[in-house]
Chain A
């Protein structure tokens, strides 16, 4: 730069600043437009989900009333009463309009088999599922990101091979099998290993309160989370690894190194942020799955979550309950996708222009 600034220079600088400002306003307007578009899309998807869920589960074979009364002495009057209570005696279009009217006012109906509002049943079990799957997703995303980065940075090395090998092996292990193994080894105890953890459930139910209760739940949480993490982290690891490998040929890294930056800094400040986008997408997809829980792991560890509830609802089929769960699962997915969409422009300014 020259030391003396001419008026022309100043004017140019002013102009530059002005353009810069305009483009900044433009970009925030662009962001708003991007956000509004995504928000609208999400709302449309949610409406579509509401409608689909009604028809989707009507094609499950089986008569709910018949399934619920199977093996129990039941008179024709009792069956008729149940049909009337469930609204199954009405024509389909009327059931549909009733459902829509209720759903739009936030009422998901009453479960056939549990005789309780679907919203209440879901709210009762959602925290357990969010706790289990949420903790697991956070841990395995972090673990996957970290190990994936290391692996890619030193790709081809022994560490990378070992890392990817172990992750892939665990990825191909069925979660219920791994869960059972963990129970047998770490709950019941085997050889010198004492039975460290409970065999199932979310709490001991011996009346703990306050901090003791938190510790008790944490204690019950260990094995199911370990199972989910072990089976799940490979996904994040591999995506992170491959997208970082794609970036590693980039000229800007050579430039950064040429500037004399430490390898660590090149990785952390230059390569990783650029490689993060696909991984972030996947993490949000996984977060979307959090609500749906994991039926197999919840079953093996008798975790009182939504996965088990969904299975029970399907086996009847308990129509209001499956519909409600479907809406919640799909809604969580839509919400997480929306958040991811809103985050992209902040992570990578090229998105949303």
Chain B
């Protein structure tokens, strides 16, 4: 028996044929790709390519904004995220707007407004020169329909229902007159940030809780821009509304392009694929500052950064809950803690100079409501004073140098920190050092989601922060007794369970005060009271750090105009006012049109070369093996 059976060598022909075919294909593709690349070389400036893209984009300048937050809904009745509401600001007019200079209320869809003597009826005059993008005029009837829909259909009240909660009746007495009757007086009637939608389009919508307004483009609106296209987490495109009453925007297209990673967005700005990037880190801003054609905008923001203390969580039914440290209920302890906090160090070291030291509740950009403590009232940095306050209040140091209360319990606190926020952690370290010197212990508890212990009142201190609107009503309301949860099981709109009679009285007064100056005065007194109670301690107003390309954007309006931000304004000023540079306007913009031609050719060629290399190497190897 012969054991050796010769293994037949593989049928060579088909395999070789395959390789040959492959090689031919590769060669063909490479050939077709290379001339394209050659055409676009400096000698013959990418003419055909540029033309092609210019045609595709119907020419003109594109303003590309890098965004990261997903759109929750394009329906103004559902949208709650900042990206969505910012885009609605561009697509729909609101009754009123805020001046770019100083955030004062100015005309929007309404040209004038006035309250009745009994303060319960507001009459708005609707402008005659606002048209929907489908050509129909925008009237008081549209506004009345929008408000009535929100008042009668809970599904349409999801996003902006708080604005109509106090409305009794809304009518359009004629196409130019809108009348709103209130249940009780309301001072925020010139700050109704509700997109007004066209009745003739929206009355056909069935279930408002499921309608996302993202199926038919362009979306009919009357703002400075019209939404023309949307691809989830890829882009939102808008075109200028040529008939916009304030004048059409100058860029021919506005694109919000998704960059989920901040560093990638910065890379895109450096390359010129985007014109504007918001929310930079100090390191990114520093790196961009020295770059050509890029301007970094380091402007006062609209947020405050604070440390909240737990005043003893309680609900409206009078029950207390949570495990907040009792010593924090002593004003002396709160005073001592914040006398020992050096805000200058926090601004310089943690925010790296990109913030303003905080005092009052409302940031300085809202000039008419801004308040700061007088010298006598001010809790300036004074560690020695802090020691004295604690000594006087009877918190003596024990043998180990730790402060103990009269009940013998050590002053050991916890602070709730957002694990996702590096600033929280850095400031936590400083607090440990400063308070440690006082003999007070601090545990920094960083969590991905702080809301659970927060809502249950299971914390002593917490890092807190809010974005403030031109009308301060909402950020003030979250410290009133009325927003406490109904029972310990519920959650209310309250920020950190503050319930103070004096603050509440002032809040009630400002809520019905129609005289702007008098109301501003009340708001300042509320801030003074909040400062004195020491439950909300404003540390800083972080700056908005953003950057844009000066070779794409020639000029753009910040808010406030003197030194303000561009992204997330209380109006449409930045994108509406942006003027393209001459080069951006003439040929589309050079950088983002490049992919199709040169780059594609070179990229394809590179891949093919690698493929050929691998194939060749493999072939050589195989033949080497064969020889063995």
Contacts and interface: CB of A to CB of B under 8 A. Distances in A.
Interface of A: 1, 60-63, 66-79, 81-82, 85, 110, 113-116, 124-125, 150, 176, 180, 183-184, 187-189, 194-208, 212, 215-216, 219, 222, 259-265, 269, 298-302, 304, 308, 312, 315
A264 B625 contact: yes
B606 interface: yes
Interface in B244-286: 255, 257-261, 263-265, 267-268, 270-271, 273
Contacts of B154: 77-78, 81
Interface string B545-569: 0000000000000000000000000
Contact of A75 (B75, B165, B257): B165
A215 B604 contact: yes
A206 B235 CA distance: 11
B155 interface: yes
13 contacts: A62-B451, A74-B162, A75-B493, A76-B493, A77-B154, A81-B157, A180-B267, A188-B267, A200-B265, A259-B3, A263-B628, A304-B233, A312-B70
A333 B161 CA distance: 43
Contact of A198 (B163, B455, B595, B626): B595
Interface of B: 1, 3-4, 7, 53, 56-57, 70, 72-73, 75, 78, 80, 154-155, 157-159, 161-163, 165, 209-210, 212, 229, 231-235, 237, 255, 257-261, 263-265, 267-268, 270-271, 273, 447, 449, 451-452, 455, 466-467, 474, 477, 486, 491-493, 592-593, 595-596, 599-600, 602-604, 606-607, 621-622, 625-626, 628
A205 B7 contact: no
| Chain B, interface SS category | mixed
Contact of A301 (B264, B593, B600, B622): B264
Contacts of B264: 180, 183, 199-200, 300-302
Contacts of A70: 451
A68 B73 CA distance: 13
Contacts of B257: 201, 205
B267 A212 contact: no
A115 B599 contact: no
B81 to A, nearest CB: 8
B161 A77 contact: yes
A208 B597 CA distance: 12
A77 B157 contact: yes
Nearest to A81: B154
Given A62-B452, A85-B209, A195-B599, A302 B259 contact: yes
List the 8 shortest-distance A-B pairs measured between CB atoms, nearest first: A264-B625, A61-B452, A199-B268, A304-B233, A73-B162, A81-B154, A62-B449, A73-B474
B596 A264 contact: no
A199 B622 contact: no
B259 A85 contact: no
Highest count of chain A CB atoms <10 Å: which of B259, B260, B592, B628: B260
Given A75-B165, A189-B271, A203-B234, A63 B596 contact: no
A115 B259 contact: no
B596 A204 contact: yes
Contact of A61 (B155, B451, B625): B451
A62 B447 CA distance: 11
Contacts of A300: 260-261, 263-264
A262 B628 contact: yes
A79 to B, nearest CB: 8
A205 B234 contact: yes
Contacts of B233: 125, 302, 304, 308
Contact of B267 (A79, A187, A261): A187
Highest count of chain B CB atoms <10 Å: which of A113, A222, A302: A302
A199 B268 CA distance: 6
B234 A75 contact: no
A299 to B, nearest CB: 5
Contacts of B267: 180, 183-184, 187-188, 199
Nearest to A114: B72
B96 to A, nearest CB: 16
Given A77-B161, A196-B606, A304 B258 contact: yes
Contacts of A68: 80
Contacts of A215: 600, 604
B595 A216 contact: yes
A336 B601 CA distance: 37
A66 B261 contact: no
B263 A180 contact: yes
Given A78-B154, A187-B268, A304-B258, 13 more contacts: A63-B451, A69-B80, A75-B493, A78-B157, A194-B602, A200-B264, A200-B265, A204-B592, A205-B257, A206-B596, A216-B600, A269-B7, A308-B260
Nearest to B33: A215
A68 B78 CA distance: 11
Nearest to B622: A264
Contacts of A176: 261
A222 B607 contact: yes
B596 A216 contact: yes
A183 B266 CA distance: 11
Contact of A206 (B7, B57, B606, B628): B57
B191 to A, nearest CB: 11
Contacts of B163: 73
B449 A61 contact: yes
A219 B72 contact: no
Contacts of A299: 260-261
Contact of A262 (B466, B486, B626): B626
A302 B261 contact: yes
B209 A63 contact: no
A114 B72 CA distance: 5
